[in-house]
Amino acid sequence: MRLFDTLTRTERELRPIDGSTFRFYCCGPTVYGPAHIGNFRTFVLQDVLRRTLETGGTRTMHVRNITDVDDKTIRDSQKAGQSLTDFTRGWTEKFHTDCKKLGLLPPHVEPGAVDHIPQQIAMIEELVKKGHAYLSDDGSVYFNIASFPGYGALSHLEHRELELGKTQNTRASSDEYDKENLSDFVLWKARRPEDGVNFWPSPWGDGRPGWHLECSAMIKEYLGDSFDLHSGGVDLVFPHHENEIAQSTCSCGGKFAAHWFHITHLLVDGGKMSKSLGNLYTIDDLEKRGFTAMEVRYVLIGGHYRKQLNFTLDSLSAAHEALAKIAKGARSLAARAGDETTLTSVDFGPFQSAWDSLNDDLNTPAALGGIFTGLKASADLQGKDAAAALAALNRILRALGLILPESSEKESTDVPADIRQLAETRWQARSAKNWTESDRLRDELAKLGWQVKDGKDGYALEKA
């Protein structure tokens, strides 16, 4: 598949560097409250990227971290009168509940910053040793951006900004700042009274790591010095990802990420989301209004990830209608397929354009359009042809991570929806040569009383 790359500003083919597994990293949530639907735009698009690769037969290794120590988590855990660990554990669990509702595949590894303090200290030691970092009078350690000629490449910093930043010789002790305040950034923050009990010993005294460092250290731990793709919302391009590149390339010497995937911010009612405007929606807020997380997912993939997407409650109602329409189409295909419902075809038949759109810079709105075109084109198909079209539709739906409304699914075939879903996931694992996972799912299906028979181009399900 082809995907736009922020660093080179071109669309490039995605291919695993190691020739077998596509290994990618996503900056995860800061767990000091519930994630909002803007955060989920980013996580859902990353999920569709992974699902598309897997549906196309590529094995993946997905790492997404949990930011469980920073200014905000420390501040709010103290306000809540809880230990940092208890506080962040609660919000991490809430995040997982929401992810499940939205149909997000759990990452293969989900490391937390607090569990990787030694790795972060080791990286700073390496940077100090190589002359890229220095201890300041306040006991904090900073990265010297003038020591890294590649600084600014990702965010395409202008020469003027760069020169200013390097000559001004200023330091940012806060994790978040803008391009106008370009400066050396903090790797190790010396202990402050407001941190309470949240500090760790280090060669430079008590303190805690700066936010940018955790991703570099965890990437090194789980993906090594060079890996396939790195991702987050656009706000992370500068300074977070720029700083990650600096830390990682200067300490490890590898190529770091081969590709950069950034998702444009979600707007609500035409503007920025904010607590004060009362438009900072969470999944719970929308469920209270009678919408489902699947409808939220549909809206979030309804816009191209490089374009602005405006969220409204009306768009959720439209998503409800659209999902019902697709479910009706699937039901009709299943009825016409009769006994042939369990065949999986290798091609996408009437849904080819939907599949092509996903592979063309992850064009999810075009893929959704392709589903309706495909349903129209398959309106007269019968028997085997209808079964093949239904299998193709199910593959597209899995790539998009869409689960059709329950009531429609029940009537669609003799095979229960959850069994079909399991069998489809297993087929995808098998196509990606992920034998362990495919065997595990075969056993799970067997336990539920269903036997899978594999053919060259598909599988059949039989009651054991």
- Under DSSP, is residue 306 helix (H, G, I), strand (E, B) or coil? coil
Element holding 121 (H helix, E strand):
helix 117-129
- C-alpha dihedral sign at 83, 85, 88, 92: negative
- 387 with 343: CB under 8 angstroms? yes
Residue 158 CA: distances (Å) to CA of 164, 165, 239, 244, 401: 10, 11, 14, 19, 39
- Region binding ligand AMP by CB under 6 A among candidate stretches 4-12, 98-106, 260-268, 337-345: 260-268
Per partner kind, with CB cut-offs from 5 to 8 A, the member of ligand AMP, Zn ion, none near residue 215 is Zn ion
The answer to whether the CB of 203 falls within 8 A of the CB of 197 is: no
Considering only residues 30, 52, 144, 357, which one is a binding residue for ligand AMP as defined by CB under 6 A?
Answer: 30
- Which of the stretches 34-42, 104-112, 119-127, 360-368 binds ligand AMP when contact is defined by CB under 6 A? 34-42
Half-sphere exposure of 27 (CA within 13 A, CB side): 24
Name the 3-class secondary structure at 202.
coil
Q: Which of 133, 145, 236, 334 binds ligand AMP (CB under 6 A)?
A: 236
240 vs 214: CA distance, rounded Å: 11
Token pair for residue 54? 């897997």
Residue 431 binds what, of ligand AMP, Zn ion, none (CB under 5 to 8 Å, by partner type)? none
What residues are paired with 13 via a beta bridge?
Answer: 2
Residue (211 or 459) nearer to Zn ion, CB? 211
Per rule CB under 6 A, is residue 432 in the interface with ligand AMP?
Answer: no
Q: What is the distance between the alpha carbons of residues 21 and 158, in angstroms, rounded to a whole number? A: 36
Query: Residues in contact with ligand AMP, total (CB under 6 A)?
Result: 16
Q: Which stretch binds ligand AMP (CB under 6 A): 22-30, 133-141, 400-408, 426-434?
A: 22-30
Of 41 and 51, CB closest to ligand AMP:
41
Choose which of 76, 125, 161, 235 interacts with ligand AMP (CB under 6 A).
Answer: 235
Which of 102, 104, 215, 229 contacts Zn ion by CB under 5 A? 215
Minimum Å gap between C-beta 397 and ligand AMP is 23
111 binds, among ligand AMP, Zn ion, none (CB under 5 to 8 A by kind): none
Find the binder of Zn ion among 14, 27, 102, 223 (CB under 5 A).
27
| Beta partners for residue 229, in sequence order | 24
Q: Which residue is nearest to ligand AMP (CB)?
A: 233
CB-facing half-sphere around the CA of 118: CA atoms within 13 A: 2
When the beta carbons of 127 and 215 are compared against Zn ion, the nearer one is 215
Instruction: Please give the Cα distance from 333 to 153 (Å, whole number).
Output: 50
Q: Is 410 exposed, middle or buried (0-12, 13-18, 19+ CB in 10 A)?
A: exposed
Three-class SS of residue 141?
strand
Question: Which residues between 57 and 96 bind ligand AMP (CB under 6 A)?
Answer: 67
Burial class (CB in 10 A: 0-12, 13-18, 19+), 277: exposed
Q: Which of 7, 229, 257, 263 binds ligand AMP (CB under 6 A)?
A: 263
Report, in Å, the least distance between residue 88 CB and ligand AMP: 12
- Select from ligand AMP, Zn ion, none the partner in contact with residue 349, using the beta carbon and a kind-dependent cut-off of 5 to 8 Å: none
Binding site for Zn ion (CB under 5 A): 27, 215
What are the residues binding ligand AMP (CB under 6 A)? 27, 29-30, 38-39, 41-42, 67, 232-233, 235-236, 263, 265-266, 273
